[in-house]
């Protein structure tokens, strides 16, 4: 601090005296300039500490040998704010950009200036955790920046821990998890937008000089409109799978989020990611610490494909609950039966599922509530007892029947919600999210329960626990959540409504922690009207997602492609449904629907008895062949060969980690012309030296001239792999095995 003072002496003696006095009381700032290196096998984040204790971000990208050289950059700043980006930009000091941290103190002051006080690192099992401590010498606010570097996966997690070490409460106005800073000529942002049944649509834009914000204020179902994730191509206006520097990020949080892309006047880009502060000024009492959610970062110097593979590997090894474990194929009752079924209906569906070679039957909505039976979406939510009018023998009877047939059994719940027509709504009106004195808006005829309230958390946990007691043969739970939060208000929080959105999400995680402690082995699907809750926060507790209610194979190409930019294929529930598709009305061939669904966790969602004999035979064939390569869906590496957004032909492949096996999926999404139908794809990820036998699956006559023959990985990478896909919705799947 004292080193900064001489220029003030010339200006005003009085300032010097005041500052000198302060020096007696304030902790000294770092004396030794230091470079802090946070690295993985192929990436590196370098931060520097200058003589005054300013912590700045100098590099996030490829590994470099001598990070200490960055210290030289501290010597040439022309102006205080020209010295390079503060690692955690705060409102205060000379900083006037978008802050990662903005605090209002008890006296109304908005200024925070953080200085380095120390750091430490520890490594265990390939993960290095670095904690950097910062402190504001005036307000005594303390912040810890925590980075976890996953060596083999090339992923870095970042979060902050903000401690009010003063004597009065403070308010957090902005509290991003992480800020990352980039220096490039161009920044091409790839992110997703969408809505119900059209989640995860790709948007690409070159960032201009304004601030770009991607935000969710939906409370729950936070990701249906947009996802808290992105890819950033650095120094390029082109999106490339295989070339160039690409950074990818994803916030591990299931509530309101905000991603800010802020370019400064020097052209640098500052990316901030965290909980949305919308209606969420968070109060921090003396002695309390607020821990932000993790931001997941990765970098690839070889295009977007590698960035996705880094995230997928991390997800498999760390980010997804029991990631990489193979999930059963299934028949889900929803589109085949909706709310209208009896025990008999379900038993016949189970028979068909077993007969087709599926591995699980999932009973979806409609099985519960007695006084307000769940015969439509307008009643029963909240009353989780079996509807014995529909299922007089109970759930255990159906679940045991499935087990006897060699199938696992799953069941649907929507525990965060309540229909006004339910005993729960009548008995606990104080548990419903509502704004005092106003009507409660309904969506899908339902209201939201206030998970910020610990009593509601107990109740929601009790729903899961109670349903699990219905039968010892429940292997899988589909957890649904079918509306957003509007006109929010919590009776429990009283006048502290600002805590609501944060504590709703933390409440959900509290419940999930308890569920996982008691039911570590139950497969739990995260569904929210389809893909309304797809994020790495939820995936710490859930095994898979319901990708979208839109099961049209054509629409799924776009949704699944975009989902896999950030999230691994193995979490994607992907179902074959009837035509015309119940959402889009589109008619696609059954084989096309299977070939699309087989890129994720395969399921069927239809009434099997409506299959013709030919359709049923094809279904059985596709299901059987899926088992031949399913381990590649769950544990292989994804290579995107062409994008549905950029090409009439969509293709992708999964390659086993040892490169001995692969599966290639190809589709025609738009009819072009007969000449162009033999579209060449360059296969990737194979060993160029090894020889692979290529076999098309699920057909008697292949659409590729090389079917059944052997080719080197190098040859298959030339574009000579050109299956004939002559019509809209032609598709072909190939299995490759090295000799």
Q: Which residues are known to be catalytic?
A: 480, 549
To ligand DGJ, the closest distance from the beta carbon of 193 in angstroms equals 19
Residue closest to 444 by CA, chosen among 366, 375, 529, 525: 529
Cα–Cα dist 197/16, whole Å: 64
Residue closest to 418 by CA, chosen among 394, 384, 387: 384
Task: Restricting to residues 151-180, name those near ligand DGJ by CB under 6 A.
Answer: none
To ligand DGJ, the closest distance from the beta carbon of 292 in angstroms equals 30
- Residue 229's alpha-carbon distances to 251, 507, 526, 530, 704, in angstroms, are 6, 23, 18, 18, 37
Report the length, in residues, of the chain.
Answer: 739
To ligand DGJ, the closest distance from the beta carbon of 443 in angstroms equals 12
Task: Restricting to residues 653-672, name those near ligand DGJ by CB under 6 A.
Answer: none
**Contact letters (x/-) for ligand DGJ, 320-349, by CB under 6 A?**
--------------x---------------
Residue closest to 478 by CA, chosen among 319, 331, 660: 331
Of 480 and 696, which has the nearer Cβ to ligand DGJ? 480
Of 174 and 552, which has the nearer Cβ to ligand DGJ? 552
Scanning 27-35, 259-267, 524-532, 564-572 for contacts with ligand DGJ by CB under 6 A, the matching segment is 524-532
Number of residues that bind ligand DGJ (CB under 6 A): 11
Residue with tokens 């161009």: 186
634 lies in the binding site for ligand DGJ (CB under 6 A): no
Of 546 and 734, which has the nearer Cβ to ligand DGJ? 546
Task: Restricting to residues 441-500, name those near ligand DGJ by CB under 6 A.
Answer: 480, 482
To ligand DGJ, the closest distance from the beta carbon of 196 in angstroms equals 9
Task: Restricting to residues 584-623, name those near ligand DGJ by CB under 6 A.
Answer: none
Of 605 and 696, which has the nearer Cβ to ligand DGJ? 605
Scanning 43-51, 89-97, 511-519, 526-534 for contacts with ligand DGJ by CB under 6 A, the matching segment is 526-534
Residue closest to 432 by CA, chosen among 462, 442, 496, 509: 442
Of 313 and 483, which has the nearer Cβ to ligand DGJ? 483
Of 34 and 198, which has the nearer Cβ to ligand DGJ? 198
Task: Restricting to residues 352-411, name those near ligand DGJ by CB under 6 A.
Answer: 364-365
Cα–Cα dist 243/231, whole Å: 14
Of 137 and 608, which has the nearer Cβ to ligand DGJ? 608
Find the binder of ligand DGJ among 447, 546, 654, 711 (CB under 6 A).
546
Residue closest to 211 by CA, chosen among 258, 261, 176, 249: 261
To ligand DGJ, the closest distance from the beta carbon of 228 in angstroms equals 20
To ligand DGJ, the closest distance from the beta carbon of 609 in angstroms equals 20
Residue closest to 429 by CA, chosen among 507, 490, 495: 490
Of 231 and 424, which has the nearer Cβ to ligand DGJ? 424
Scanning 46-54, 399-407, 523-531, 728-736 for contacts with ligand DGJ by CB under 6 A, the matching segment is 523-531
To ligand DGJ, the closest distance from the beta carbon of 723 in angstroms equals 33
Find the binder of ligand DGJ among 194, 244, 328, 530 (CB under 6 A).
530
- Quote the longest CA-to-CA distance of the chain: 95
CB atoms under 10 Å from CB of 179, counted, come to 28
Strand partners, 518: none
The residue number with the shortest CB distance to ligand DGJ is: 365
Q: Does a cis peptide bond (omega within 30 degrees of 0) precede residue 185?
A: no
Q: Between β-strands 544-546 and 572-577, what pairing exists: parallel, antiparallel or unpaired?
A: parallel
Contacts of 508 (CB under 8 A, 6+ apart): 254, 416, 451
Of 530 and 706, which has the nearer Cβ to ligand DGJ? 530
Of 39 and 581, which has the nearer Cβ to ligand DGJ? 581
Contact 557, 644 (CB under 8 A): yes
Find the binder of ligand DGJ among 318, 412, 594, 649 (CB under 6 A).
412
Residue closest to 47 by CA, chosen among 152, 132, 153: 132
Cα–Cα dist 410/475, whole Å: 6
Residue closest to 300 by CA, chosen among 246, 338, 226: 246
416 lies in the binding site for ligand DGJ (CB under 6 A): no
Contact 181, 109 (CB under 8 A): no
Of 154 and 549, which has the nearer Cβ to ligand DGJ? 549
**Crossing angle for the helix pair 613-635 and 343-356, to the nearest 10 degrees:** 70
To ligand DGJ, the closest distance from the beta carbon of 181 in angstroms equals 39
Of 549 and 637, which has the nearer Cβ to ligand DGJ? 549
Contacts of 404 (CB under 8 A, 6+ apart): none
- Residue 266's alpha-carbon distances to 61, 273, 417, in angstroms, are 20, 21, 49
CA 181 and chain centroid, separation: 22
Find the binder of ligand DGJ among 39, 529, 551, 560 (CB under 6 A).
529
- Residue 514's alpha-carbon distances to 207, 293, 320, 459, 492, in angstroms, are 43, 19, 17, 12, 21
Find the binder of ligand DGJ among 359, 549, 554, 696 (CB under 6 A).
549
Scanning 40-48, 316-324, 525-533, 657-665 for contacts with ligand DGJ by CB under 6 A, the matching segment is 525-533
Q: Is the dihedral of CA 634, 638, 644, 648 positive or negative?
A: negative
Residue closest to 589 by CA, chosen among 696, 728, 734: 728
115 lies in the binding site for ligand DGJ (CB under 6 A): no
199 lies in the binding site for ligand DGJ (CB under 6 A): no
The DSSP output letter for 611 is S
Contact 107, 172 (CB under 8 A): no
DSSP H or E stretch at residue 106: none
527 lies in the binding site for ligand DGJ (CB under 6 A): yes
Of 464 and 639, which has the nearer Cβ to ligand DGJ? 464
- Residue 431's alpha-carbon distances to 47, 222, 434, 445, 457, in angstroms, are 47, 21, 9, 17, 10
Phi then psi dihedrals of residue 185, to 5 deg: -75, -35
**What SS3 state is found at 161?**
strand
CB atoms under 10 Å from CB of 120, counted, come to 9
Task: Restricting to residues 51-90, name those near ligand DGJ by CB under 6 A.
Answer: none
Contact set with ligand DGJ (CB under 6 A): 334, 364-365, 412, 480, 482, 527, 529-530, 546, 549
């Amino acid at each position: 601090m004292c080193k900064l003072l001489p220029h003030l002496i010339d200006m005003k003696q009085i300032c010097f005296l005041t500052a000198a006095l302060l020096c007696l009381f304030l902790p000294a700032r770092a004396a030794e300039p230091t470079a802090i290196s946070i690295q993985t096998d192929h990436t590196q984040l370098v931060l520097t500490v200058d003589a005054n204790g300013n912590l700045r971000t100098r590099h996030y990208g490829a590994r470099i040998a001598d990070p200490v050289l960055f210290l030289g950059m501290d010597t040439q700043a022309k102006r205080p704010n020209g010295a390079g980006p503060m690692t955690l930009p705060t409102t205060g000091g000379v900083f006037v950009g978008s802050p990662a941290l903005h605090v209002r103190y008890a006296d109304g002051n908005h200024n925070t200036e953080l200085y380095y006080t120390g750091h430490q690192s520890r490594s265990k099992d390939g993960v290095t955790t670095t904690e950097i401590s910062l402190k504001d010498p005036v307000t005594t606010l303390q912040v810890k920046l925590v980075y976890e570097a996953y060596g083999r996966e090339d992923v870095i997690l970042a979060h902050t821990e903000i401690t009010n070490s003063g004597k009065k409460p403070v308010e957090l106005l902005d509290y991003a998890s992480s800020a990352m800073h980039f220096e490039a000529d161009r920044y091409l942002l790839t992110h997703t937008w969408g809505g119900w049944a059209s989640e995860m649509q790709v948007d690409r834009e070159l960032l201009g000089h304004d601030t770009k914000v991607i935000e969710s204020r939906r409370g729950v179902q936070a990701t249906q409109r947009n996802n808290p994730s992105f890819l950033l191509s650095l120094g390029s206006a082109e999106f490339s799978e295989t070339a160039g520097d690409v950074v990818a990020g994803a916030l591990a949080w299931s509530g309101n989020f905000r991603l800010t892309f802020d370019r400064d006047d020097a052209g640098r880009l500052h990316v901030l990611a965290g909980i949305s502060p919308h209606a969420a000024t968070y109060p921090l009492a003396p002695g309390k610490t607020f821990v932000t959610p993790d931001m997941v970062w990765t970098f690839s110097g070889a295009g977007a494909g590698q960035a996705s593979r880094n995230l997928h590997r991390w997800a498999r090894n760390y980010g997804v609950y029991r990631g990489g474990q193979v999930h059963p194929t299934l028949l889900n009752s929803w589109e085949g039966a909706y709310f209208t079924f009896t025990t008999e209906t379900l038993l016949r569906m189970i028979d068909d599922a077993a007969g087709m070679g599926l591995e699980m039957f999932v009973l979806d909505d409609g099985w519960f509530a007695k006084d307000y039976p769940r015969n439509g979406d307008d009643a029963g939510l909240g009353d989780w007892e079996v509807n014995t009018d529909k299922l007089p023998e109970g759930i255990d009877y159906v679940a045991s029947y499935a087990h006897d047939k060699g199938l696992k059994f799953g069941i649907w719940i929507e525990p965060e919600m309540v229909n006004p027509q339910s005993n729960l709504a009548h008995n606990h009106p104080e548990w419903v999210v509502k704004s005092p004195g106003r009507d409660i808006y309904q969506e899908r005829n339902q209201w939201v329960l206030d998970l910020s309230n610990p009593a509601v958390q107990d109740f929601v946990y009790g729903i899961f626990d109670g349903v699990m007691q219905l039968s010892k043969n429940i292997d899988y739970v589909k957890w649904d959540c079918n509306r957003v939060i509007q006109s929010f208000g919590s009776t429990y929080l009283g006048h502290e409504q600002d805590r609501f959105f944060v504590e709703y999400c933390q409440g959900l995680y509290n419940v999930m922690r308890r569920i996982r402690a008691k039911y570590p082995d139950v497969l739990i699907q995260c569904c929210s009207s389809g893909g309304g809750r797809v994020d790495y926060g939820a995936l710490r507790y859930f095994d898979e997602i319901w990708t979208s209610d839109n099961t049209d194979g054509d629409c799924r190409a776009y949704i699944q492609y975009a989902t896999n930019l950030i999230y691994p294929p193995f979490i994607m529930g992907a179902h074959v449904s009837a035509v015309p598709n119940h959402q889009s009305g589109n008619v696609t061939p059954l084989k096309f629907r299977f070939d699309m669904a087989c890129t994720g966790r395969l399921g069927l969602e239809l009434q099997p008895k409506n299959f013709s004999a030919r359709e049923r035979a094809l279904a059985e064939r596709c299901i059987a062949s899926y088992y031949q390569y399913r381990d590649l869906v769950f544990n292989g590496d994804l290579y995107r060969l062409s994008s549905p957004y950029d090409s009439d032909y969509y293709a992708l492949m999964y390659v086993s980690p040892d490169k001995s096996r692969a599966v290639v999926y190809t589709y025609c999404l738009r009819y072009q012309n007969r000449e162009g139908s033999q579209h060449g794809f360059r296969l990737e990820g194979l060993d160029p030296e090894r020889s692979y036998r290529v076999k098309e699956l699920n057909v008697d006559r292949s659409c590729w001239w090389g079917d059944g023959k052997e080719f080197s990985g190098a040859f298959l990478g030339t574009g000579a792999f050109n299956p004939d896909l002559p019509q809209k919705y032609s598709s072909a799947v190939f299995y490759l095995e090295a000799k």
